[in-house]
Amino acid sequence: MNSLLPSIVSRSQSSGIMNFFVPIISIVLTLITGSIIFVLLGFDPVYALYTFFISPISSTYGISELFVKATPLALIAIGLSYCFKNNIYNIGAEGQLTMGAIFGGGIGILFHDTNAFWLLPLMIFAGAIGGALWGLIPAILKTKFNTNEILTSLMLVYVALFILDYLVVGPWKDPFGYSFPKSRPFSESGRMPILFDGLRVHFGLIITLFLIFVSWFIFSKTILGFQLKVSGYSPKAAKYAGFNQTTLVFFAFAICGAFAGIAGLAEVSGPIGLLYRDISPNYGFTAIIVAFLGRLHPIGIIFASLVIALTYLGAEDAQLFLQIPSAVGFIFQGLVLFYLLGAELLINYKLTYKKLL
Amino acid sequence: MNLDLILGILQIVLIATTPLVFAGIGELVTEKSGVLNLGVEGMMLVGAVSAFIILVITGSYFLAFFVSILSGIIMSGLFAFLVLFLMSNQIATGLALTIFGIGLSSMLGKQYIGTPIDGLSPWFFVIFSFLIVFLVSYFFYKTKAGLVLRAVGESHNSAHALGYSVIKIRFLSILFGGSMCALAGSYISICYAPMWQEGMTAGRGWIALALVVFATWKPERVLIGAYIFGGVTILQMNLQALGLRFPGQFFSMAPYVATIIVLVLISSNKLRIKLSAPASLTLPFYKGR
């Protein structure tokens, strides 16, 4: 005779099949919950879901916009996977993104009347440095003073946002900007080249795909990737094997910060073209969802970034056509993460019915 | 400086700081049981909007606060279900709760933006905020139940071995945290503002999280920390009103910088971090191990 309620038993090895199916299950459940919410609000669910998920990408321009939104999300998420694989909870990517935009954008403002081929590479480099430096603060504090990186990286987000705010209303304000809190526009050579005429998808996409490929190589083909993975699974095993945990923490934070910084720079030198207060609609936090949804795998992250980018676009269309505030996109993002985290149980644990007799 | 001005500023500080005290003490109880809930901002927003909507519909302040606290219990209950029963990652689940709460509150409150209401006098809540801090402090250090809660946060395996239900105690602590965050939100939308606006808690949830660390997980220090953070904010507004050209952003970032400094000071010493932070914070409890 079996007991009525299943009991949860931890798997010796996480289930590979479930690893693949759990993200899909959670997306389906999110869509079902979303339609229920639309019905409750008095909308035709088919029309609402169409407005949200199909109509935004039914034109070439829409697909280009999808890639514009997915670019920073994928780039930050792949950076985060260096940390998350090693069980380092860096949740401050939004701050690292902001600092990247400040460093890179600062170069852009300094050379606002220069047109030269070296300007954009220099800005990208500065963006990576800015993000990496901001990411290294929690790494130093964690390794030197044993502070909790979750709390420090989170606090640093707000410090970075206030620094940006100070710069664009203060020293870096556009002298010809009619006192709007924004900087001078960057010069033409300080902008990300557009990939297709008339669309906004930019060179940042190429950088992102390149860095995802490099990361795939590091994760699967190098000792470093192996060390990250081992110390994530079992810190003790990593210690016995002689891996230097301090170096790994520094490496993960620096890479993640640099990627987030490049993402921030790509935003300000891509679609935006100058610095102002709201350069990121929470990309740094949303990328955490992307990293989880993509199961920290490069290919998974590409797909996940497109799915989550669609919630941003859908929310904009929903605001236009259904008069729903665009923040509704956050509901879908929250829901998909809830379902994903709940369903993760199926990856690491299995449900069994204990024999009673 | 005359006395009226000082009293006036003191009054503003008291009124502005109260939501930080509520949210901070709620999160403190949750964290003391070993659970880090990053959903404070989301729960505050949903609490704020639900109180506002109920007040507009029914006109009853009692119902407004009642439903608001209920919303906090539902939101934190969702979090508790995920982290305690499905053993999901606390950090990610808390962030999901905040993101979800921002979206939900904006959608629910859309047609109520700009609706005028009669605000409620804040003084009852100001006094209640002091009272609740002392009650929580009494509960933690003078009652057996409080000791058990702290034990669960320090070492859930030992508490479990002694026969205490880790899951039940954590569940209740999370719900208390959620209801306090919702109360903080409803105070903002009904007493402090009084109005509804998208994202109106304006990052106070994150300050409340910083506050708990700043207070090194001690209830009375939450009160002190809240008044330092709240006082700095009011000081900044007054200085700018006086026309001083000091960048206010540096005041605004002070709570976060101060929290990092406190965290470094307590963490650099092994004994001190043991005496401050709950040892099982963010660790999931799994009976079968």
Per-residue tens of pLDDT for chain A, all 357 residues: 455 566 667 776 666 777 788 899 999 999 999 899 889 888 888 998 899 899 999 999 999 999 999 999 999 999 999 999 998 999 999 999 999 999 999 999 999 999 999 999 999 999 999 999 999 999 999 999 989 899 899 999 999 999 999 999 889 999 887 878 899 999 999 999 999 988 999 999 999 999 999 999 999 999 988 888 888 888 788 888 888 888 999 999 999 999 999 999 999 999 999 999 889 999 999 999 999 999 999 999 999 999 999 999 999 998 888 888 888 889 999 999 999 998 888 777 776 666 655
- Give me the CATH topology for the region A7-352: ABC transporter involved in vitamin B12 uptake, BtuC (1.10.3470)
pTM: 0.92
Per-residue CA distances from A163 to A98, A342, B31 (Å): 9, 37, 30
Counting residues of chain B whose pLDDT is more than 70, the rounded percentage is 98
Is B283 a residue whose pLDDT tops 90?
no
**Do the Cβ atoms of A136 and A257 come closer than 8 Å?**
yes
| Sign of the CA dihedral with A117 first, then A119, A124, and A129 last | positive
| Cβ-Cβ contacts under 8 Å, A89 against chain B | 91
Task: Give the closest-approach CA distance of A334 to chain B in angstroms.
Answer: 4
Confidence of residue B274 (pLDDT cuts 50, 70, 90): confident
Is B155 a residue whose pLDDT tops 50?
yes
**Do the Cβ atoms of A149 and A141 come closer than 8 Å?**
yes
Retrieve residue A115's tokens.
């047109």
| Cβ-Cβ contacts under 8 Å, A325 against chain B | 106-107, 110, 198
Retrieve residue A302's tokens.
């590409």
Task: Give the closest-approach CA distance of A225 to chain B in angstroms.
Answer: 23
Candidates B104, B253, B277; nearest CB to A162: B253
Domain assignment present for B288: no
Domain assignment present for B282: no
> CA–CA separation, A283 vs B157, rounded Å?
38
Number of structural domains (chain B) is: 1
Q: Regarding predicted confidence, which is higher, B269 or B135?
A: B135
Q: Which of residues 120-159 of A touch B (CB under 8 A)?
A: 141, 144-148, 150-152, 154-156, 158-159
pLDDT the model gives residue B260: 92
Query: Which residue of A lies nearest to B97 if distances are taken between CA atoms?
Result: A334
Confidence of residue B232 (pLDDT cuts 50, 70, 90): confident
Q: What torsion do the CA atoms of B280, B283, B288, B289 make, to the nearest 10 degrees?
A: -80
Retrieve residue B16's tokens.
């502005």
Closest to A207 (Cα-Cα) out of A262, A167, A131: A262
Terminal alpha carbon distance of chain A: 6
Closest to A304 (Cα-Cα) out of A77, A107, A105: A77
Candidates A151, A158, A288; nearest CB to B92: A288
| Partner A contacted by B251 (CB < 8 A) | no
Residue with tokens 């000082």: B6
What is the number of other CB atoms lying within 10 angstroms of the CB of residue B188?
29
**Do the Cβ atoms of A284 and A331 come closer than 8 Å?**
no
Domain span at residue B165 reads 3-276
Q: Is residue A9 within a helix (H) or strand (E), and if so which, with residue range?
A: strand A7-10
Task: Give the closest-approach CA distance of A118 to chain B in angstroms.
Answer: 33
> CA–CA separation, A155 vs A161, rounded Å?
10
Residue with tokens 């729960």: B43
Residue B32 sits in a domain of what CATH number?
Answer: 1.10.3470
| Cβ-Cβ contacts under 8 Å, A324 against chain B | 107, 110
Domain assignment present for B169: yes
Query: Which residue of A lies nearest to B266 if distances are taken between CA atoms?
Result: A147
Task: List for chain B the helix, strand, coil content (%; round to 5).
Answer: 75, 0, 25
| Partner B contacted by A96 (CB < 8 A) | no
pLDDT the model gives residue A354: 61
**Do the Cβ atoms of B44 and B203 come closer than 8 Å?**
no
Residue A5 CB contacts under 8 Å (≥ 6 apart), including other chains: none
| Cβ-Cβ contacts under 8 Å, A34 against chain B | none
Beta strand segments in A103-179, E: none
CA A342 vs. chain centroid, Å, equals 20
Domain assignment present for B127: yes
Q: Which of residues 206-225 of B touch A (CB under 8 A)?
A: 206, 209-210, 213
Cβ contact, residue pair A156, B96, below 8 Å: no
| Alpha helix (H) residue ranges in B59-143 | 61-80, 90-109, 123-142
DSSP 8-state assignment for residue A282: S
| Partner A contacted by B244 (CB < 8 A) | no
> CA–CA separation, A57 vs A187, rounded Å?
31
Is B105 a residue whose pLDDT tops 80?
yes
| Cβ-Cβ contacts under 8 Å, A337 against chain B | 92-93, 95-96, 99
Tell me the mean pLDDT in the region B120-124: 93
Task: Give the closest-approach CA distance of B269 to chain A in angstroms.
Answer: 8
pLDDT the model gives residue B289: 45
Cβ contact, residue pair A341, B267, below 8 Å: no
Cβ contact, residue pair B249, A166, below 8 Å: yes
Tell me the mean pLDDT in the region B84-111: 93
Phi-psi region of A16 (alpha: psi -120 to 50; beta: other; left: phi over 0): alpha
What is the number of other CB atoms lying within 10 angstroms of the CB of residue A331?
25
| Cβ-Cβ contacts under 8 Å, A158 against chain B | 203, 206, 253, 256
Residue A8, beta-bridge partner list: A351
Q: Which of residues 313-352 of A touch B (CB under 8 A)?
A: 324-325, 327-335, 337-338, 341-342, 344-345, 349
pLDDT, tens digit (0-9, with 9 covering 90-100), for B172-190: 999 999 999 999 999 999 9
Cβ contact, residue pair B96, A331, below 8 Å: no
Interface test with B, best of A89, A145, A324, A330 (most B CBs within 10 A): A330
Task: Give the closest-approach CA distance of A91 to chain B in angstroms.
Answer: 9
Q: Regarding predicted confidence, which is higher, B31 or A18?
A: B31
Cβ contact, residue pair B263, A147, below 8 Å: yes
Phi-psi region of A184 (alpha: psi -120 to 50; beta: other; left: phi over 0): beta
Q: Regarding predicted confidence, which is higher, B260 or A42?
A: B260
What is the number of other CB atoms lying within 10 angstroms of the CB of residue A347?
18
Residue B180 CB contacts under 8 Å (≥ 6 apart), including other chains: B22, B23, B25, B26, B27, B29, B72, B132
